[in-house]
Chain A
Amino acid sequence: MLIQILNGVVYGALLYLLAVGLVLIFGLREVVNFAHGALFMVGAYLGFSVAAAGYWWGALVVSVVAMAAIGCLLDAAVFRTLRKQDPMVTVLVTFGLLLILETLVTAIWGKAYLRYPTPTILSGTVTIAGSPFPLYRLFVIAVSIAVAISLSAWLRFTRVGLYVRAASTDPRVASIQGINVDRLSLIVVGLGTALAGLSGVVAGPLLTLSPTMGSYILIDSFIVVVIGGLGSFTGAFVAALLIGQIHNFGAIYLPWAATILPFLLMVAILIWRPTGLAGSRA
């Protein structure tokens, strides 16, 4: 039982890493990045190329740094250029990017499913409540918790974090107060995309790599963000854990309905609270 709950937490942890990136970007730019899943996938493949050469930890670094750079580029080239347009214009452009990235990855790495190596140091198992549990899965949970804690600390206790919170509440008033929202957004979108790269590498050994892996997890993380309430970090955290549990327990006890349980939950929550669990912004 405990093992099952932990398995759910592992998937929830992955979803959180993606969803929090979406939330960060939504906070500053008020758009949802439809290419976020594709960036997760690109991060996973970049990492794969390095990890396949035997440098798993190098893969982590390379992927995070490269994705941060891509995120900054994305913000400067797309989000900043289109900031005065209707948010749907940006959404459509990111949707176009998603198609381009998927094709690009297919062209480079092919369509075949690839297996990711697990770092040797984390390849063992530990015994939890009398059953063996892969150490690597604990590592995924730990990464996610570390990100959650450092992100909250950053947002709450640093000056830049204060700026981010201010700009997320109201970008216009924040810039009147002298905050350079464009520079801030560069950092935040870079960070959000770096988290997508991080989760791509971390998810690698758990999932099989394929060019469509991004779209599947993107839809789950959309559900997380919608349930949690767009723009809410706490909401995303709670919703990610919830969906992780539903995903896992559904697969065991209600296999025929497992894949649509998250959707049903989402519709139910939207009927009850149209702006999501923690939602204040529509």
Chain B
Amino acid sequence: MSTLAQGTIVVRPRRIGATTATLLAGAVALAVGFALPLLLPSKIAMSLFAQALFDALLATSVGFLFLQNGRISFGQAAFSGLGGYAFGILVARGLVGSEIALLIALLLPTLVAFLLGLVIARVSGVAHAMLTLAVGQAFYEVAFRWRELAKGDDGMSFDLPRRIFGLSSRGLQDPAFMVVLAWCLLVVVLVGLALFARSRIGMVTAAIRDNEERARFLGYSTTLPRALVYALAAFIAAIAGILQASYNGYIAPQMFHWTVSGYALIMAILGGAKFIIGPAVGAVVLFYVKELAGQVAEYWPAIVGGALVLVTLTMPQGIIGILRLLWLRRPPQ
């Protein structure tokens, strides 16, 4: 608990078959994904779950930054928003083909995060939290004020191009298709992150997170790997933003707002930010709690804030941490 910002995860020696196991779990999860339209009872249920998955991707991005970098971000919505805006604006103006638009929408936030990471990565702890909040809000301000960009405050609707990668793009606004797509992307991202954590560069970033000075002493450049983690996290956030924008056919400055970043961070902590899968679980749980809390939605921020205080103080390992504890303590059979 006392080392919340410096991860306490011990990098275990490579087990034989760990990679295989991860890939296998991923394959099973993908198979489940294709069955989702059959498992969920209605279009509404699919639509809700798809939106929960968008949240899960953004929360995973925040969690990854914490897990691999030890940095808590209050501004991750900057990158999901940037992805969504880049895609929406390029498509709406027909400046480039839809495939190129998608590519730009993925790479622009990644590049921006990498460059920002070179600056921000040098700042740690509390100052870092303040900085990310401020930087994230800068993006919001631009999207809010710059009316020529995408109608400023009002937000902008756009029509999807008819075909993307030779396929009809109508699926992007169909809950049954979107829920499968979002699930599969989330699975691929989670598997990718698990493999990253075991890779050489993943080990280096974990070493830098745990003791930057020692890593530097061992001869590693520390700023570059940190910036790389920022870029990867932003890439994941961009996926979330693009999915959300194309599903809704709408972009608005609210996508950048600090509350979006803040909630993503809370989801990550609630689910267990020390586990790769934790933030995604937290996001889905929080999303459905919000749906259930329909009548008291007015007091929603206070409920989330209270949950954050409670979780931080009493169960910092989050939902996954508690489940793991229960699993380890299970009575012998």
Contact = CB atoms under 8 A, between A and B. Distances in A.
A97 B305 contact: yes
Interface stretch (B80-88, B99-107, B134-142, B322-330): B134-142
The prevalent SS among residues of A at the interface is helix
Contacts of A106: 298
Interface stretch (B2-10, B156-164, B238-246): B2-10
B129 A91 contact: yes
Report the contact-size class of chain A (Cβ under 8 Å from the partner): 35 or more
Interface string A73-96: 000000000101111110111011
A226 B301 contact: no
Given A86-B2, A87-B125, A267-B119, A260 B141 contact: yes
Report the contact-size class of chain B (Cβ under 8 Å from the partner): 35 or more
B130 A88 contact: no
Nearest to B300: A103
Interface string B311-326: 0110010000000000
Given A100-B301, A103-B298, A274-B122, 8 more contacts: A30-B126, A88-B4, A93-B308, A99-B302, A100-B309, A102-B302, A263-B137, A270-B119
B124 A256 contact: no
Contacts of A219: 133-134, 137, 258
Nearest to A212: B259
Contacts of A84: 2
Contact of A103 (B3, B125, B302): B302
Contacts of A96: 304-309, 312
Contact of B127 (A100, A230, A263): A230
In the complex, the 6 A-B pairs of residues with the closest C-beta atoms, listed nearest first: A99-B305, A103-B302, A263-B138, A96-B308, A259-B141, A96-B309
B267 to A, nearest CB: 13
Interface string B259-287: 00010010001000000000000000000
B145 interface: yes
A24 B25 CA distance: 51
